[in-house]
Copies of this chain bind each other. A is one copy, B any other.
Amino acid sequence: MKTLIRNATILPMTGPEDMLHGSIMIEDHQIVAIGRESTNFKADRIIDAKGMIAMPGLVNAHTHLGMVYFRNYRDSSLNLQDWLEEIWKLEAHLVEQDLYIASLLGIGEMIQSGTTTFADMYFFQAETVKAALDAKIKANIGLTLFGDLKESKHRVATILPELQQMSGGSAIKIDIAPHAIYTCSDDTLRYAVEIAKQENSRFHIHASETIKEVEDSLATHKMSPIAYLASLGAFSVPNYLAHGVHLAAEDYPILQNKHTSVVHNPSSNCKLASGIAPIKKMADYKIQLALGTDGASSNNTLDMFQEMRLSAMLAAISTEKTILFSPYDILQMATIGGATALGRAAECGTLEVGKDADIILINTDKAHLTPLNNIYSALVFAAKSSDVDTVLCRGELLMQNRVLQTIDIAQVMKKTQTIWEQMKNRN
């Protein structure tokens, strides 16, 4: 299958000056040429991208798809603790098949907003793997661990082989995802590192999200959460840490290594009043950064355009400087930064010959993008997820002219609603 995208303004995200106008030639799942159209290339499918920007698909490096049910649910009428307790009660009623539909809904929403790869951490992971395979999107699915070593060993023994079997030969990767230092025992965290090493997987965890987490860690372990994770060997395997809002001076050198990425989740951090992650300071330390939406219950969408815009706004307001963290830096977090976090930098995150054709086309023929002027500013400050017109992942069309190609979204929305009504009555 040969696909030709022509007449595009191409942002390869290999450098701010690398912008060009022209064509992208795709053979099966790979980009084979970028630039001038080759007369030898006999395309089976031609996509006219006139007036559109072609850029790498976005990478949502931290989410919990199963939480879509709790979107906008009592999030303004209860305080955080009461709300969490309500959610936990509901989560206790989730059953396996609920997760397939929730995952498909979340994936549909992500494709509609330009995401081609995501990292998830939740329950009933096999259902999310199944949904990702059906929707033909890329995913790093975390085998979520919590509690003591016995429970964790049981989960690894029963769930890991199934996930590995399902995802074998696909674009799905299975990561090891202990939930957090305050929900996992020391043994579980050490065991998670061991399994990640053994399975050549990545280690994904929530870390330094709230002041409470940091204070509790200092009280219990006499160390920051980052130092504590280091003491357990977590940085001896490739890893990505969600949040990193409250960092001590001694945390920065620990995070400054090429196997670690910090995933910034600005909407969730604002909405839950956790704090503003110091992304500028992390960038100064050359700490690798990625971007995520977190779950739909604390956001309340899975829209990476919202995250990019909010990142830029918070970076300016928290450093009191407008230009320290540029729109290009933000776009990097959302593309190659995410690909790096998820162990996919060789495969996606930029548009380059030999990489997968994970490409989004953004329609700039909109009043709010006129005049366009600086494209990077336009994408971060003015573009909306609804401007994403077409999405390809590994050369497959996931959305064209805003119509999803691999998901019957009307059906999925209906089922989501039905399950949610049932769930509220289960007890």
Contact = CB atoms under 8 A, between A and B. Distances in A.
A67 B373 CA distance: 13
Contacts of A266: 313
A270 B319 CA distance: 10
A381 interface: yes
Contact of A367 (B109, B320, B376): B109
Given A313-B270, A317-B269, A420 B371 contact: yes
A313 B271 contact: yes
Contacts of A319: 273
Interface stretch (A19-27, A92-100, A150-158, A296-304): A296-304
A385 interface: yes
Contacts of A385: 384
B270 A378 contact: no
Contacts of A378: 71-72, 300
Chain A, interface size category, equals 35 or more
Interface string A277-316: 0000000000000000000100111110010011011101
B109 A320 contact: no
Number of copies: 2
A427 to B, nearest CB: 18
Contacts of A296: 382
A374 interface: yes
B75 A374 contact: yes
Interface in A367-388: 367-368, 370-378, 381-382, 384-386
A316 B273 contact: yes
Interface stretch (A29-37, A175-183, A322-330): A322-330
A174 interface: no
Q: From DSSP, what is the main secondary structure of chain A's interface residues?
A: helix
Contacts of A413: 365, 367, 370
Given A317-B269, A417-B371, A384 B382 contact: no
Contacts of A78: 323
A276 interface: yes
A39 interface: no
A349 interface: no
A320 B273 contact: yes
B322 A367 contact: no
B326 A76 contact: yes
Contacts of A367: 105, 108-109, 112, 409, 412-413
A240 interface: no
A170 interface: no
B75 A377 contact: yes
